């Protein structure tokens, strides 16, 4: 185990975790933010004590229920979910745990109380992460993640039932969420979006274009089909059937440029209208370099007004 300073009030702590007989040595690391060397050394000492306790419980055949820290529970949860959840889901779990729930890492599960949660949630609402308050929706996401972790840990004998029930009991103390109403663009607003997409504004001095003209086909596809951004950007030519006038949503692209199944976990078929088909085929022709370069405008028959006529 070791503590290393990696920045102003930032320390990386390396520590060993419990392993099963015959397994290789397991080491983990965590970065402690806005802390002191003394606090980092105390954290390392606690990890050593946790490992000794877990080994003693293992030696006599006892489950280490409520004898490990919540930090160890968080780590075990994330490690397990990496094998069963999409990368985006795991990244979201990691973000919520690192930025918010990590404040409970030094507590043992049976030390966690309703007061801990209520006080922490109150601070999150005022200060949030890096001094910025968080929305009520994010606060509910934090609490939902904690409930998910504790239920998972209870099913594996890591925490007692009353600890898992604690998070459920505190749910009533959270502020109510106001679910925003979905907004739809008017024909004039959609016309403005498509005009800008087809002919992007020139970049500001020293800046870049907000996007390129070849995104016009993706924006029109989204407007026609209602498909999600990642689903539209993940479309392949093999997913588009011009002859039978349809396209198949079979995957989605993530912000890390990896592919995953659609949100519904099922492929779906969507109709392909003539004006959308013309836009896509024109895009395909320009992308293959057989006609005009990308910075030249679309043909007159693919104007925004004709696209909007088909959308009505």
pLDDT tens digits, 227-266: 888 899 889 989 999 989 999 998 888 777 778 888 777 8
Query: H or E element: which one contains 16?
Result: strand 10-17
Domain end, chosen from 41, 62, 83, is at 62
Q: Is residue 291 predicted with pLDDT exceeding 80?
A: no
**Same-domain status, 152 and 86:** yes
Q: For residue 182, is it within any domain?
A: no
Residue 245 belongs to domain spanning = 187-311
Cβ atoms within 10 A of the Cβ of 143, count? 23
> Which CATH number does the domain housing residue 170 bear?
1.10.150.130
The pLDDT of residue 298:
43
The pLDDT of residue 163:
78
**Same-domain status, 58 and 28:** yes
Q: For residue 268, is it within any domain?
A: yes
User: How far is residue 11 from each of residues 44, 69, 75, 93, 110, measured CA to CA in Å?
Assistant: 11, 19, 18, 22, 27
Give the C-alpha separation, 63 to 109, whole Å.
14
Give percent of the chain above pLDDT 70.
81
Q: Is residue 132 predicted with pLDDT exceeding 80?
A: no
Q: Read off φ and ψ for residue 30, nearest 5 degrees.
A: -145, 145
Least Cα distance to 46 among 117, 109, 103, 105 occurs for 105
**Same-domain status, 79 and 48:** no
**Same-domain status, 211 and 307:** yes
Least Cα distance to 163 among 180, 175, 151, 178 occurs for 151
Confidence bin at 78 (pLDDT 50/70/90): very high
Give the C-alpha separation, 64 to 58, whole Å.
7
Domain end, chosen from 127, 144, 175, is at 175
* Total domains, the chain: 3
Q: Tokens for 210?
A: 């907000």
The pLDDT of residue 205:
65
Answer whether 0.85 is exceeded by the pTM: no
**Same-domain status, 40 and 82:** no
Q: For residue 81, is it within any domain?
A: yes
Q: Is residue 63 predicted with pLDDT exceeding 80?
A: no
**Same-domain status, 235 and 253:** yes
Q: For residue 181, is it within any domain?
A: no
**Same-domain status, 83 and 151:** yes
**Same-domain status, 29 and 119:** no
Q: Is residue 119 predicted with pLDDT exceeding 90?
A: no
Greater model confidence, 134 or 148: 148
Q: Is residue 296 predicted with pLDDT exceeding 60?
A: no
Q: For residue 180, is it within any domain?
A: no
Confidence bin at 26 (pLDDT 50/70/90): confident
Confidence bin at 62 (pLDDT 50/70/90): low
Residues 44 and 105 sit within 8 Å (Cβ to Cβ): no
Q: For residue 145, is it within any domain?
A: yes
**Same-domain status, 275 and 197:** yes
Confidence bin at 303 (pLDDT 50/70/90): very low
**Same-domain status, 223 and 256:** yes
Q: For residue 139, is it within any domain?
A: yes
Per-residue pLDDT tens digits for 155-185: 877 887 777 778 777 777 778 877 777 788 8
Q: For residue 30, is it within any domain?
A: yes
**Same-domain status, 160 and 262:** no
**Same-domain status, 90 and 79:** yes
Q: Is residue 275 predicted with pLDDT exceeding 90?
A: no
Residues 298 and 279 sit within 8 Å (Cβ to Cβ): yes
């Amino acid at each position: 185990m070791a503590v290393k300073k990696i920045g102003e009030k930032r320390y990386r702590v390396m520590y060993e975790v419990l392993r099963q007989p015959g397994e290789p040595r397991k080491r983990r690391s965590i970065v402690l933010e806005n802390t002191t060397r003394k606090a980092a050394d105390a954290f390392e000492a606690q990890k050593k004590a946790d490992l000794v306790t877990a080994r003693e419980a293992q030696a006599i055949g006892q489950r280490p229920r409520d004898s490990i820290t919540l930090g160890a529970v968080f780590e075990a949860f994330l490690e397990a979910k990496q094998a069963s959840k999409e990368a985006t889901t795991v990244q979201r779990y990691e973000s919520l745990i690192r930025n918010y729930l990590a404040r409970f890492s030094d507590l043992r599960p049976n030390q966690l109380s309703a007061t801990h949660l209520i006080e922490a949630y109150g601070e999150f609402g005022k200060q949030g992460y890096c001094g910025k308050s968080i929305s009520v929706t994010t606060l509910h996401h934090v609490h939902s993640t904690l409930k998910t972790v504790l239920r998972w840990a209870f099913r594996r004998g890591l925490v007692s039932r009353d600890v898992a029930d604690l998070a459920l009991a505190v749910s009533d103390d959270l502020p109510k969420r106001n679910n925003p109403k979905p907004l739809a663009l008017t024909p004039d607003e959609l016309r403005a979006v498509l005009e800008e997409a087809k002919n992007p504004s020139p970049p500001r001095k020293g800046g870049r274009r907000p996007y390129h003209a070849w995104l016009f086909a993706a924006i029109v596809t989204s407007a026609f089909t209602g498909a999600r951004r990642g689903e539209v950007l993940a479309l392949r030519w093999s997913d588009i059937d011009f002859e039978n006038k349809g396209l198949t949503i079979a995957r989605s692209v993530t912000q890390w440029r990896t592919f995953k199944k659609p949100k519904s976990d099922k492929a779906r078929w969507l109709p392909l209208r003539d004006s959308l088909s013309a836009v896509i085929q024109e895009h395909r022709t320009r992308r293959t370099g057989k006609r005009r370069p990308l910075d030249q405008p679309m043909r007159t028959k693919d104007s925004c007004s004709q696209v909007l006529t088909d959308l009505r």
